[in-house]
Amino acid sequence: MGNNQLSSITLQGSRIVVAGGTSGIGFAVAEAAAKSGAEVIIASSKPERVAAALERLPQGTRGEPLDFSDEAQVRAFFARVGAFDHLVYTAGETLLLQNLADLSIEAAQRAFEVRYWGALKAVKYGAPLIRAGGSITLTSGVASSRPLPAWTIPSSILGAIESLTRTLAVELAPLRVNAVAPGVLRTALWDNMSEADREGLYDYIAEKMPVRRVGEASDVAQTYLYLMQQGFSTGQVIVVDGGHVLV
């Protein structure tokens, strides 16, 4: 496509699979992509959440319940989807935040199941179906490079995702593979905290941040769309954190 390659990549009429598209970042990406003219297919583990999301997303969006820890389910899901253009992986459970001394190794191993192994399964079975000019965008987070106490497992998972992104960009070339690393956002990720603790965290982070607020899912959704349409970026981790890594 030469010099016209960049401008020719559009979401209009493309097919996009958003793993974890029922809430938070995934929902925001699915909504933005559908409004850009894409055919969007969401997948999430709970049928009721898929149904609720489809009621709020633009007409024409499709969705299925999918357990990303089950390889057979992931394989069958992509076989049903068939050829498509972009894969976005945002699926994940609530964070396992524990000091090392109190950490359950079994729980730590389970924490990798959806966020890391689920992403790997989705790429394994989704990548062969992605059409020329398509892309894969995974999800990391700023804790990969700016960890805090009790973040041993989440930071490890995020670091693994970033290494996976770079490796896949080489192995799957010319298919583009990138990742987005959000900062603290107001999403269901923090639902394992009490409301008081959650709001306290938001206030604490906002006071330190250069932008003086925590982010919203919509703040980072456009970065995923940019990476789908920007045909010259691969192996990159794009940080969208309101300046959190600076302070």
Catalytic residue among 14, 23, 45, 140: 140
Cβ atoms 47, 98 nearer than 8 A = no
> Side-chain half-sphere of 100: how many Cα atoms within 13 Å?
5
For 196, counting Cβ atoms within 10 Å of its Cβ (0-12 exposed, 13-18 middle, 19+ buried), the class is: exposed
Distance CA 225, CA 205 (A): 26
Pairing of strands 62-65, 84-89: unpaired
140 carries an active-site annotation: yes
Provide the residue type at 159 as one letter: G
Residue 168 CA to chain centroid, in angstroms? Answer: 16
| Residues 49, 55, 57, 58, Cα dihedral to 10° | 150
- Catalytic residue numbers read 140
